[in-house]
């Protein structure tokens, strides 16, 4: 699956394409020099096409927010897993993240549309 969108950035515009890829832990694809697998789940491969390199930091920051990459998945799993109703869900999908938005304006529109009912648009 691939997610693509344009970004309005401080200096110019950009296009981000994020593709879900899968790591093969059995063959060691993506492994370090020791041959051990570094990751057992899916990877996100992000490609940024920017009109101005000065926007790189802002674009990366927005991607981190979009995919909730600054959250500590172990702490989240521990906290949510302590709730008896959520524990089975957390155990079934450990490390699941809460998606965000790449653009603050988009977030505001989604909040308003969600409040009014997205099905009526």
12/63 same-domain check: yes
pLDDT tens-digit profile of 92-103?
Answer: 999 888 878 877
> What confidence score (pLDDT) does residue 115 get?
62
In sequence order, the β-bridge partners of residue 3 are: 18
Instruction: Please check the confidence at residue 6 and state whether its pLDDT lies above 80.
Output: yes
pTM of this structure: 0.67
pLDDT tens-digit profile of 32-55?
Answer: 434 344 445 567 899 999 999 999
> What confidence score (pLDDT) does residue 101 get?
81
24/37 same-domain check: yes
Average pLDDT, the chain: 80
2/57 same-domain check: yes
Determine the Cα–Cα distance for residues 63 and 9; give it in Å rounded to an integer.
Answer: 12
- The total domain count for the chain is 2
Segments of 12-91 assigned E as strands:
13-22, 42-50
What does the block give as tokens for 105? Answer: 């304006």
Determine the Cα–Cα distance for residues 70 and 11; give it in Å rounded to an integer.
Answer: 25
Q: Which domain holds residue 54?
A: 1-67
| Least confident range of 75-79, 88-92, 95-99, 106-110 | 106-110
87/110 same-domain check: yes
């Amino acid at each position: 699956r691939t997610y693509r969108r344009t970004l309005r950035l401080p200096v110019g515009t950009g296009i981000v394409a994020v593709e879900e890829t899968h790591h093969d832990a059995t063959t060691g694809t993506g492994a370090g020099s020791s041959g051990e697998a570094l990751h057992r789940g899916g990877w996100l491969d992000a490609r940024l096409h920017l009109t101005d390199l000065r926007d790189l930091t802002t674009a990366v920051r927005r991607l981190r927010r979009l995919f909730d990459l600054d959250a500590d998945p172990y702490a989240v799993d521990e906290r949510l897993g302590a709730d008896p109703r959520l524990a089975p869900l957390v155990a079934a999908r450990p490390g699941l993240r809460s998606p965000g938005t790449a653009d603050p304006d988009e977030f505001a529109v989604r909040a308003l549309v969600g409040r009014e009912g997205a099905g009526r648009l």
